[in-house]
Amino acid sequence: MQMSPPGINLMEVRHVNKHSVVRALHEQGAMTKQEISRTLNLSLATVVTLIKELTEEGIVEQGELLASTGGRKPVVYQIVGNAKLSLGVALTGHHIRIALVNWKHEVIEKYREKITYSNSETYWRHVYQEVMKVLKKERITSRNFVGLNFVIDGNIIPDAGYEDIIPVGIFDGLDVSVIKDMYLCPVYFCNSVKAAAYSNVGKLSSRNTCVYIQFDRTVGGAVIANGTFWGLSNRTGEFGHMYFGENNKKCQCGNYGCLQTYCSSDVIREESGMELEDFFREIEQGNKKLMSVWNSYKKNVIQAVYNLRVIFDINVMIGGEMAPYLKRWEEELKEILRILDIYQEQKDYLQFSNGGEFDGAIGAALMVLQKEDEDDIEFIK
């Protein structure tokens, strides 16, 4: 039998065991009662009772029957994805992006609106109404909704969690406590680039190790090692402020020559005078003048990705709103990176995030779900 921590009563033992069952199902995806029993070293009778309770609570459900090797077909159990849901709300100077994510890391709903940010009651009331609209549309209740996470530009506080930040830039002076008081659910604020990177940490059973770099209106990222950020205070990955070369473009940090001034999505907008959708429509139609802009941009992206590969020697993942556009040239980018490879290993280390411009919102929602699980683990300790 699984040993219980000393000093806890029978009710707490049951809670510990139930959490262990849920976590095992999270990691494995689906398991039979016998597999759960063996994995957790719990008696089959205990597992049967726990599965029954978890099923009645709407946390676990029966999955598909497995192929029989003789006799009755084995029954597997899995977590109910929508037993826990969270919202990530990514705010920029120009857009609101919302992602509703469930316990299985499935994106249930995505919403995008073009709107200019202002630290005003009118703006925040509008955001509140949009959040409520999504929750109402998906019939989300307080029973399965675990929280809301806002994504903004902010400095991460040393020795604090990545959900603890000081608003900067257009969000400077924002009183987060006022916003939190508008909602009846747990509300958090997180750093925009770290949230985007967190969207790619992977599920419990398949944690990622990679360098994530976001090519958006800002450029940044994180080093993800086995599903967690690597480095002091979670602040590794300020790639956008690496010195990249002399130019006359001043970065928002105050310096010149930052990678962000070469590879942000605004570089395309400024040099073409067009929004991205219109720019790439012209590219597809063979506009030679704009193709020159695009080739220059790709060259800078390739150099940035190659530099990160040389430094960290792990896969490099591109995310942000430029990701789906760059992915159209995936084979070309990979071929050039193979040619540049000083080790001539012919490895394809370039990856692309599936979330694109919604990376931040998705990652923020996943942070809330992760925090919920960590709180349960802390109880067990």
- What region does 173 belong to: left with phi over 0, alpha with psi -120 to 50, or beta? left
Strand, coil or helix: 226: coil
On the question of pLDDT at 1 being above 60, the answer is: no
pLDDT of residue 380: 35
Evaluate if residue 354 carries a pLDDT over 70: yes
Given pLDDT bands bounded at 50, 70 and 90, which one contains residue 379? very low
If DSSP codes are grouped into helix, strand and coil, which group holds residue 154? strand
What average pLDDT does range 166-170 have in this prediction?
Answer: 89
pLDDT tens-digit map of 302-330? 999 999 999 999 999 999 999 999 999 99
Q: Taking residues 8-12, what's their average pLDDT?
A: 71
Reply yes or no on whether the pLDDT at 265 is more than 50: yes
- Beta-sheet pairing, 165-167 with 154-156: antiparallel
Q: What is the mean pLDDT of residues 36-60?
A: 91
Is 38's pLDDT higher than 60? yes
* C-alpha–C-alpha distance, residues 265 and 322, integer Å: 6
Nearest partner of 224 among 259, 195, 244, judged by Cα: 195
Query: Tokens representing 104?
Result: 């299985």
Residue-range domains of the chain with CATH: 10-79 (1.10.10.10), 84-198+359-380 (3.30.420.40), 210-354 (3.30.420.40)
Quote the pTM value: 0.86
Can you give the pLDDT at residue 172? 92
Q: What is the mean pLDDT of residues 205-216?
A: 87
